[in-house]
Structure 1
Amino acid sequence: MPFTHYGTLVPRISDEPVVASAWERFLRDHPHHPHEGDGVRRVVLASWQRCRSEAVDPTLHSAPGAADDRLRQLRTQNRDLCDAAGPALEGLRDILRECGTLIMLSDTDGTILQLNGSTRVRSVGEEVNLAMGGCWSEEVIGTNAIGTAIATVAPVQIHASEHFCWDVKRWTCAAAPILDPFGRHLLGVVDVSGVKESFHGHTLGLVVAAARQIESELARRDMAMHERLLARSIDDFVRYASDCVVLADFRGRVVRINGRAQAARDAHGVCFALETGNAIPGLDLTLPEVDQIHQRPGWLRPEWLHTVKDREGLLGTMLVIPLAARPGRTSISLPATPTAVTTDDAFTEIIGESEILAATKARARRIASLDLPVLLVGETGAGKELFARALHRSGKRPDGPFVAVNCGALTRELLASELFGYAEGAFTGARRGGHPGKFEQAAGGTLFLDEIGEMPLDMQPHLLRVLQDGVVVRLGDTRERQVSVRLVAATNRDLQKEIAAGRFREDLYHRLCAVSLQLPALRDRPGDIESIVDHLNHKLARKYGCAPKQIEPSVYQTLVRYRWPGNIRELQNVFEVMFALGENNGIDVSMLSSLVESGPAGDAMAPAPMPMSAASGRLDDLERQAIRAAINDARGNLSKAARTLGISRSTLYVKLAALRT
């Protein structure tokens, strides 16, 4: 037989005895290349070699199967594929009605999502789990049309002895991949299978035609969806013209970008190819939220994401990457920020020159070089993450990664997988190949555990072991991985009291608290408030693309009198609302909420009583409520809503942008 026969798409029945002998020699002698007369097509031999590298057992009796709840989840995630495939699969069934075959649709992992065929053939198929939920990837059941089409992303027909596993050799099958018409990545596979006596060379052409029909239907649906998505988002491209705006559909594929990707790379280290058709990890809205979070790259911040929907449901995501510079507004000349860092001292970014803050920063500089675990203690909003980042940049690993985890913002299960990672199959929805945890991601750098006092008690021994041994074991795995990280933890709780109450382990406390750093509350350094406000004034001017505001002296006086229970975070929120609300270039005391007008210094820490109209929340909450109410009353007419609020339409856009960040 000529050597060129090895690459043909359609097998020959007459080759079956020769292929069977070659398979036996392959298992016994491990040949690496086909020989003249072997009769093994290249596509088949390459698949056998992959099976051997994956240690597939050729004596396997049947394919593994997905549990019912997992199958339902997969069908939900692939609902669009299943719906689009319906007419094509129905057409195949009509053509092959009398042929004794099964017609199937699988996902990208080879799990069968849909199956049609006569009861007799279904019963035979169930013997090898060629049934709903059966997983037919090469890695688990060896050479077969579904798995080999996935591995090669090409149409393929596998007949009888060409299968790798013995009990599957009585079957013949043909499959073709279904590609995303927008991004050209694999979406699934359409397959026709039957007992080997039902072999027909035309079957491969039929499944290829069916795959193309499904792709055409998906393209039609994508086009309609993208039109709705663009219609809902077009105003935002104008509103955020000075930022990098990326519009992704509900599967996370980039539909449109405003051309500022390079600026985003320079400003935020965006390392993903932001190009039309590419899928951004973590933005596939068909996946469970836990998977979306795990898949998001480190540079992507959750606050940049804005879901887009209409009356029919979710359409996609708008990713707004803020850019510090606003070159689109060249008519405004912005002064340099007075507090810009001009030295290598990372702690100069922490604004203020009060005696207590200076002493805290001096101690932090000494701690930074020790490369020991540090426990930051301070009230909410006091700047614990800012100090943690400064410790990282001033330490012995400044070029390593800085990875932050909020232990109080995640469920117990999600926190465990976030910290330690997980192996493939560790839980329902786990990614193929597993996922590294934050300890592994922070290797060679710093891991910042915020709100460590919120960590569940039963998770604390696992954290203690990592800190003691420098070894991480992913969930569902047994392999130990060495990690070397500097740990910085933070809390606003009194951990000694937590230990006494049995809510925190004393041995973990001593491991975390090699050295501690107490951060001062803002009320303990009122002399820094004016410097912080001036810094925020210039920072917000750059954010909104305008000149800094003129601030009346009475504003400073009122801000200094207030006790700031939310510390710097509260000050930043209050000032930003005043900045965004201002109709002119000034900020006066009339713009301050009664929350801040708390009377002379030395009063009780609680602010003065609020009038009933303000009692429902802070200034930013009230502002958000007022804007939403006006827009609802105007039925989405922003011009009418702006008139109701007594501001211009452009100012309303600025406020909306501020409230979304």
Structure 2
Amino acid sequence: MPPLQYGALIPRIRDELVVASAWERFLQDQPVEVKGVRSVVLASWQRCRSEAVDPAKHSAPGAGAEHVRQLQRQSRDLCDAARPALEGLGEILRECGTLIMLCDPGGTILQLSGETRARGVGERINLATGGCWNEDVIGTNAIGTAIATAAAVQIHANEHFCVDVKSWTCAAAPILDPFGGTLLGVVDVSGVKETFHGHTLGLVVAAARQIEGELARRGVAMHERLLTRSIDHFIRYASDYVVLIDSRGRVVRTNGNAQAARESYDVRLPLEVGGQVPGLDLALPEIDRSCQRPQWLRPEWLHPVKDHDGMLGTMLVIPLEARQHRSAISLPTAMASMAANDAFGEIIGASEVLVATKARARRIAPLDLPVLLLGETGAGKELFARALHRAGNRPDGPFVAVNCGAFTRELLASELFGYTDGAFTGARRGGLPGKFEQADGGTLFLDEVGEMPLDMQPHLLRVLQDGVVVRLGDTRERRVAVRVIAATNRDLQKEIAAGRFREDLYHRLCVVSLLLPPLRDRPGDIETIIAHLNGKLARKYDCAPKQLEPAVLQALLRYRWPGNIRELHNVFEVMFALSEGHVIDSSLLPPGIAQTPKDSVSISTSTSTPGPRGRLEEMERQAILEAIANSHGNMSMAARTLGISRSTLYVKLAAIQCEPGSSGAGM
């Protein structure tokens, strides 16, 4: 938004009669005395004349209710970002008898709030939700003139072009896209002319900039998610011209030869970041997007980018030359066989604490009892839950996961228990079964159960006690057979003491518990996990595994990983994807990891600290675990290192896992 020159933008009440006389002369095509009439107003009157606006028009045209809802959906991001600013304006102007409005780029009022009497007066000229206040339909006014000039403006009384609007005063400021600079909407404050105050213009400008700041913050966060989800496209299609486009249809990043794309397909794309690509604004209906797309844009070039929260944007991949498809790298045969036969094979590591935890989990799995998984964020609770399901008595049944901390109370109730037709506004026709019904005959994983609202906990307790579900809005009882596995990173005993969690529900969920060790407690597994991720990402990105510079490996081993396995996975994948060639070097380390002091506690790459060496059994046990760790889980390689057959190794490993010391006491 350009700097404001308030002397030119704020009306002067003493000029009102001069402006009225000038308007009458203007309508009669007589010379207008410029003195006393601001240039922004005179220029607007001239635009009104060129558009043949009728100065006797009584009110602004209005859109139908369905069309208004469609416009509100298209401007949903703007409406959400504007809410705090508009609420702040409302607090300031509560006693002023004014209306506060948010409009779309076409001048249609999307949201309106303000004093009841002022609303009633405004409705006479359709200064109401759905009213269109563009200059070409209702003449000079703050909303329409702000759109026409892309600048903040205040229009007072006789400065309006249409007669019936001259009893009003209004101030408006445009809201510009922080990335592309395009007009997204207008914020406006209007009232009868007696409510005029020069400070109102400053208030709407401040509100518009607050909205732009919030849009920028949200946009940066969205673009980070978009880039994270699309990194593999830039690598996979490195020989093509690739354009990453956000959900608003704006260019976020490009890669490749734009000139070659233009010569091969007559591509006409904006080269600058923030430029708009026609037909790719996901807020528009598909039919509108299809009509807007240029002829050169082929549908097969469009790849949607999404995550668990929905659509993030579009990747446009324009092929420039035939790519050489490299053969996929397969898992080692022994590893694949082991993973196929072991439900816990995907849980990587051979440290004593992890081996003990997996051994306890294997004994728990066949028991048809509720399990409570305890551990820090990112420690692998869902991975263990899925393994418990596969190793249980219902491996062919469904596994359904729900995050209890990701929903409001009302949404969580409908997610868990389902609802009937018409149970609430927006309910799907015919109703919908909840997660308990979807998991019937299998396992329901309640992640972050400690986040569940207190008033919802009795409903969950009843289902656990009776095995009966009643959908929202219904009276019919539905019996379900579900094994419940819950997980939390909270201390539920403290939550009970604080009155935030029911003790009876805790005892229902925690029939048996499993404590998952944080990654810092099993440092010997870090190198094994990195090797596993290296192979997994090589298959994902269709390339060879990367080599790690020694300094990179040491930095990863020194770091304490507060986010556990999830943090390690995310950090390594970003480094893998961004590395050029076959080596991951120190420049790719995140600053927090690269700056870990080198004199911090050294991490051993062996599986565990050696125990007493006096007993032959202990020495054999240690040798087996170290061989498995050093071979990165390749049982054939470990067996060769030990000089025994693979079948003998499996027998000895099973014996180790069943030892009393591996029972996971205290978990």
Q: So what's the TM-score if we normalise by structure 1?
A: 0.49
Which fold has the larger relative contact order, with Cα–Cα distance below 8 Å and residues 6 or more apart in sequence? 2
Larger Rg: 2
